[in-house]
Amino acid sequence: MAIRPADQIIHKAAWLYYTHGMRQDQVAQQLNISRASVAMYLRKARETGIVNISTSTQLFTDDVLAREIEDAYGLDAVWIAPHGDLVDQAAEVPVLASSVFLELVKKGDRIGVAWGQTVYAIADVMAYADLQDVTVVQLCGNLGAPFAYRPDQCTMEIARRLNAKGLNFYAPLVLSTEALAEELRNEPVIREQLAGISDCDLALYSIGTVDGESHVVKCGALTSAEMDALRRAGAAGVVAGQIIDAKGALLDCSYNRRCISADLDSLRAISKRLVVVQEPNKFEPLLAGLAGGLCTHLVISADMARRLLDQARAASRRKAS
Amino acid sequence: MAIRPADQIIHKAAWLYYTHGMRQDQVAQQLNISRASVAMYLRKARETGIVNISTSTQLFTDDVLAREIEDAYGLDAVWIAPHGDLVDQAAEVPVLASSVFLELVKKGDRIGVAWGQTVYAIADVMAYADLQDVTVVQLCGNLGAPFAYRPDQCTMEIARRLNAKGLNFYAPLVLSTEALAEELRNEPVIREQLAGISDCDLALYSIGTVDGESHVVKCGALTSAEMDALRRAGAAGVVAGQIIDAKGALLDCSYNRRCISADLDSLRAISKRLVVVQEPNKFEPLLAGLAGGLCTHLVISADMARRLLDQARAASRRKAS
DNA sequence: CGGGAAAATTGACTTTTGTCAGCGGCCGTG
DNA sequence: CACGGCCGCTGACAAAAGTCAATTTTCCCG
């Protein structure tokens, strides 16, 4: 909490340079150090979030397509990463998402974070910030897979970037029997963490696919064959490690009952639910999530936006006829 | 709300430069314009709040003196503008205050703003920001004095800087009879505005002196002689144009009854009350404000901080003996 | 308390950014 | 339709910032 004495000089340099608009040589003179050091301190200030530089994401919400999707799906806000006229579209989604995320966070917030490649990609490009009274909580249990994008890593990395407190979940995501999962959920430590999820101000997650490429399969929570069976039983997407059906409801299956993760109602109790979808093959999972009311704020690519809108129009035509 | 087509390019340039970290020549190439134009757009982006650069104010809260004052007066946070080792101390207070203010504001907030030289000085050095869903409301009636720091100007200037909505108060601050003031307060428009004050998330004000130099005297709301009389009757400070006594309660006097301004209870209902004191002669007024619970967040100079702490210590010694 | 490794700092050089006069297109006006 | 004024853009130069190898300082450890 307290500033380390060594960092004091960084704060001073940043204040004089950015707030007072002094030049680096003036700052150097004022602090009796070389200009090169000032340049270095300023870089550190930016890197650690002592100085925050953020760009409005209005460019990406202010768009007819985005408005139409907001209306069609009843969302609070939609951001669309445009086609390659700027930069690579797919890569743009996490960058945009991390800006949007930082725009939505405010001091004192409690933030729920799920996991997966998309979430980790967002964490990875996220700017550092100085949000010491923010708490980042993990939305579901862990798994031991050697992937950077596993639940605890996602939570930790985001907490680190924000200089926030990270609250990890010390339980496995999935257990071998339903009874054990139930028992564990009733353990005070775990119960408390699960209960705290609905107190979050903001949640961040993506929606997973239900095929062999799904992160739950890659991490070994389910075999590819089991996933195929679940898909035949109506699985449409994955949210915080749990399987949902096309209506966005929790699929009634043993796997879900063996999971320790955020209750969907708890997620819906969070006022800002930021869903980010990067891969083009996540169309159906995303529809499921939208149907289930799991999303209030959405970041997607232009292609995906197009498909969502077409879908909504087709649906309303069907209803009209 | 919508981005003007001409501003689109500014957003794009800012996004590529600040978020993607491209160099100006790369941005220029990407957007098919000259690098000089990019430099110009970037300046505009910074000036209009499309890009936001903010520096942590931790340096000024993270200080034993600040902590001691927090404890002694039960405040949420205190910031202290240090002695001249950095820059001019008095001039630093508004600069620091405007940074603190911007740190405390968040999207969707409703902000109450009073008036006076200090408040206007803060507005004047405030960085531009892009907070379009913020509302800035005037905390008290107006007066026609030809000063830049009058109530409507303070409100408007802050709203302009934030790109927020400004809600002015179209009633005089002080009327000639109590009856008329009472009648006016009951007018739906005015009543509504007064009622809306307690819904604010954040308030910004200074505390005025009760002498001939007071802004209420300079602006002609009171004569110097009337002020002297009020002082003898127990006046200790001015908050949003109203006179308070040493305990921080509204002074029982005709002037106050003729005022159209925020009820002190409404002010206390606002969760963050940022009080900024710049001039050294505002020590007693500040004590009155603190006594009345009108302050939760405080920005002062190092000298003032010293005096506050000495006062608190003297008071506790007196109590102990 | 000396020696050595690691970290911090700096001077000198390179790259990047800021600025401004001047050019050219656009629009309203005579 | 020609003219003048205005605004926005650009090229070229000046100023500022970034970088890195060399040097100094700090901090262990024997």
Q: Using the CA of B46, give the nucleotide whose C1' is nearest.
A: C18
What type of residue sits at position B276?
V
Distance, CA of B305 to CA of B314 (rounded, Å): 14
**Across A256-278, average pLDDT:** 96
Q: How far apart are CA A227 and CA A251, in angstroms?
A: 12
Question: Of the segments A218-222, A288-292, B6-10, which one has the largest average pLDDT value?
Answer: A288-292
How does the average pLDDT of chain B come out, rounded? 92
pLDDT band at B88 (very low <50, low <70, confident <90, very high): low
Paired sense of beta strands B110-113 and A235-239, if any = unpaired
Residue B202, SS3 per DSSP: strand
- Residues of B with CB below 8 A from A52's CB? 52-56
Q: Tokens in use for B184?
A: 């006016």
Check B11 against A56: CB less than 8 A apart: yes
Residue A258 has pLDDT above 90, yes or no: yes
Place A281 in a pLDDT band, splitting at 50, 70 and 90: very high
Q: Amino acid identity of B34?
A: S
User: Which residue, A284, A285, A288, A239, is CA-closest to A266?
Assistant: A239
The pair of structure tokens assigned to A209 is 């696919």
**Are the beta carbons of A130 and B14 separated by less than 8 Å?**
no
- Residue A48 is which amino acid? T
Q: Interior CA angle at A271 toward A274 and A73, to 5°?
A: 60
Q: How many CA atoms lie within 13 A of B230 on its CB side?
A: 29
Q: Tell me what the pLDDT averaged over chain A comes to.
A: 92
Q: Which residues pair with A248 in a beta bridge?
A: none
pLDDT grade for A132, boundaries at 50, 70 and 90: confident
Got the DSSP string for A32-78? TS-HHHHHHHHHHHHHHTSEEEEE--HHHHSSHHHHHHHHHHT-SEE
pLDDT at A44: 92
With pLDDT > 90 as the criterion, what percentage of chain B qualifies? Answer: 79
DSSP type of residue A250:
B
pLDDT at A87 over 70: no
Q: What is the pLDDT of residue A89?
A: 66
Contacting residues of A for B99, CB less than 8 Å apart = 19
What φ, ψ does residue B156 adopt, rounded to 5°?
Answer: -65, -45
* CB contact at 8 A, B151 and B115: yes
d(CA A202, CA A108): 11
Looking at strand C, which nucleotides approach a protein CB closer than 7 A?
Answer: 8-12, 16-20
pTM score > 0.85 for this model? Answer: yes
Q: Where does the pLDDT of residue B86 fall: very low under 50, low under 70, confident under 90, or very high at 90 and above?
A: low
- Residue for token pair 């590529």: B16
Mean pLDDT computed over A43-59: 92
- Which tens digit of pLDDT belongs to each residue from B27-57? 998 888 888 999 999 999 998 899 999 999 9
Answer yes or no: are the C-beta atoms of A274 and A97 closer than 8 Å. Answer: yes
Q: Looking at the predicted structure, is the pLDDT value of residue B85 above 80? A: no
Give the model confidence (pLDDT) of B129-187 as tens digits.
Answer: 989 889 999 999 998 777 889 899 999 999 999 999 999 888 899 999 999 999 999 98
Q: How far apart are the first and last CA of chain A?
A: 62
Asked whether the predicted pLDDT for residue A104 surpasses 80, the reply is yes
Chain A residues touching chain B at CB-CB below 8 Å: 1-3, 8, 11-12, 14-16, 18-20, 30, 45, 49-56, 58-59, 62, 86-87, 95, 99, 103, 106-107, 130
On the 0-12 / 13-18 / 19+ scale of CB atoms within 10 A, A149 is buried
How much is the average pLDDT of A145-165?
Answer: 91
Q: A165-192: per-residue pLDDT in tens?
A: 999 888 899 999 999 999 999 989 899 9
> For residue B270, is pLDDT > 60?
yes
Mutant choice from A12, A15, A99 vs B, greatest count of B C-beta within 10 A: A15
Residue A90, pLDDT above cutoff 80: no
